[in-house]
Amino acid sequence: MLAVGAADGRVAAIVSQCPFTDGLATLPALGLKAIMRVAVAGVRDQVAALRRGTPYYIPVIAPPGGLAVMTKPDVASGWSAILEQSVDPQWENRVAARIALRMGTYRPGLNATKLPCPALFCICDQDSVAPAERTATLAARGPRNEIKHYPIGHFDIYVGDDFEQAVADQTEFLVRTLKP
């Protein structure tokens, strides 16, 4: 949404909840072994794509040490809590592995200074997936950006009281910002 907001002047406001803002900042948190494993899978999938073959999938979520895009200790339990409340419990834990080849260069947070509209960044300070410190640094650079910090992990903001607080903050921002 940050890239779209920076490029499209029709966007009136942005709410960015525990955003993935900088792939380069995320890579060190993954660890070298995990990066290498998903990169090999990514190359395998990219070759399959070039040959118009079947995608090679890897899990989105796995326990620590597993092959997946996200393997931090809090990820599996956090995602399970979201799925328990989901209207579509048929979600498949897989993604085309080629996404791993693009993670490091995906840096939408660099657009935070270019946003022509107000933006609210809801940052989870204990985020194991999207580094909170880097997101806060990028968000602070935008002249119309607002930042809300939550002392929780990445998936906590999607359920329970933390979700209710985030939605209240987001609603207040949008009502205030989008007044005619």
Find the radius of gyration of the CA atoms of the chain: 17
Residue 29: predicted pLDDT: 77
8 Å CB contact between 41 and 59:
no
Note whether 148 and 120 are within 8 A (CB): yes
Predicted confidence (pLDDT) at residue 87 exceeds the cutoff of 80: no
Q: What is the pLDDT of residues 2-38, one digit of tens each?
A: 888 888 889 999 999 999 999 999 888 788 898 999 9
Exposure string of 116-125, with b = 16+ CB inside 10 Å and e = fewer, is bbbbbbbbbe
Question: Is 80 exceeded by the pLDDT of residue 173?
Answer: yes
Residue 107 and residue 22 in contact, taking contact as beta carbons nearer than 8 Å: yes
The pTM (predicted TM-score) of the whole model is: 0.89
pLDDT tens, residue by residue, 96-133: 999 999 999 999 999 898 899 999 999 999 999 899 99
User: What residues contact residue 15 under an 8 Å CB cut-off, 6+ apart?
Assistant: 119, 120, 122, 170, 173, 174
**What's the confidence (pLDDT) of residue 77?**
85
What region does 127 belong to: left with phi over 0, alpha with psi -120 to 50, or beta? beta
pLDDT given for residue 58 in this prediction: 97
pLDDT of residue 91: 80
CATH 3.40.50.1100 for the 1-22+107-180 domain, yes or no = no
Q: What pLDDT shows up at residue 3?
A: 85
Q: So what's the pLDDT on residue 47?
A: 97
Ordered by start, the domain boundaries in the chain are 1-22+107-180, 30-104
Residues 6+ apart with CB under 8 A from 92: none
Q: Which residues pair with 61 in a beta bridge?
A: 70
